[in-house]
Amino acid sequence: MILVTGGFGFIGSHTVRALLDLGEDCVVVQRRARQLPAVLAGARVEVEQADVADREALLAIGRRHDITGIVHLAGSYPWPPVPDAPVEATRQALDGLLNIAQAAQEWGVRRLGVASTIGVYFGARNRGPLREDAPLSMSALVSIPTFKKVGELLGGFLADTTGIDIVNYRVSGTWGPLGHPDPFFAAPALVHAAARGTAPDLSHLVGPAFADDGLDLNYVKDTGRAIALLQLAGKLNHRTYNVGSGRATTNVELIEAIRKLVPDAQVDLPTGGDAPHLVLDISRLQEDTGYQAEYDTERAVGDYIAWLRAGNRN
């Protein structure tokens, strides 16, 4: 049985779906009580309500279930930032990661996977596909990549000293059903606007969006399946894996795909965009798991628009 923290969240619910489809049983750990996400409707999933920062509550789960692996997707970082209590927020974030590692050790799990982010590469000088062995900057503009870098370092130390198979997932820009407006790319907002017949609200973005902006975007169903494959692989040759599409998707490409389905969609963006396109090298993932993306841009856009038009809010 695979324990998934944050398993009712955006990427988590799709990872649980993929694990179930691959024949695994899952137990989901959620801090707050939530309804079963629509992508898991009808699925047989064990649910435990616990905060991963509560060590005793977390360890008790292993006495009720036979946990063989852990996928840690719950946020091990203070987000949104907590300016009035940064030390306590940092302590809770690190406690969650360390408690998960202790649980993995005590339960004797085969593999612990921990979510990281494409954001760890921000500031990298390499303009080609980013490999997992690329040197990383010691600084970060926001808290998430800061804590993910710290988590990767701690994970490496704990793997060396405990013998736990700890694997990092550096997840690219991910979008699709159950997602949310992302501050770094416009894809979800553009699709929502097309599905609802409105102009896109881009006020949440950290900067203006341009037609030629691009990023390694991965549809969430592919992201969830990649994580599931990494968790279940018989042997992994590395500790860190990029999880993405391996190519840049531009806003122009998204707009063209949207207009094939919704010709009158109000999704025009100003021309231009000179920011470097961050693209992940996913050869490790493909070689060690056989992963291949199932959703190109057109299929992803069509699937997401159909999901929203079926009455789903996000």
Q: Give residue-wise pLDDT tens across range 153-184.
A: 999 999 999 999 999 999 999 999 999 888 88
Of 10-19, 88-97, 192-201, the range with the lowest mean pLDDT is 88-97
> Each residue of 255-284: pLDDT tens digit?
999 999 999 999 999 998 776 688 999 999
**For residue 235, what are the contacts with CB-CB under 8 A and spacing of at least 6?**
288
Q: Quick count: other Cβ atoms within 10 Å of Cβ 191?
A: 29
pLDDT at 232: 98
pLDDT at 92: 85
**For residue 219, what are the contacts with CB-CB under 8 A and spacing of at least 6?**
174, 175, 176, 293, 295, 299, 300, 303, 304
Q: What percent of the chain has pLDDT over 70?
A: 96
What's the whole-model pTM score? 0.95
pLDDT at 90: 86
Overall average pLDDT of the 44-51 stretch: 94
CATH number for the 2-173+219-243 domain, one of 2.70.70.10, 3.40.50.720, 3.40.190.10, 3.40.50.620?
3.40.50.720
Overall average pLDDT of the 205-228 stretch: 95
CA distance 106 to 226: 27
Overall average pLDDT of the 126-149 stretch: 86
CA distance 116 to 114: 6
Q: Tokens in use for 89?
A: 């927020």
Domain residues of the chain, as ranges? 2-173+219-243, 177-218+245-309
pLDDT at 31: 87
pLDDT at 77: 62
pLDDT at 80: 57
Domain 177-218+245-309 indexed as CATH 3.40.50.450: no
CA distance 55 to 208: 42
Strand partners, 46: 27
pLDDT at 272: 82
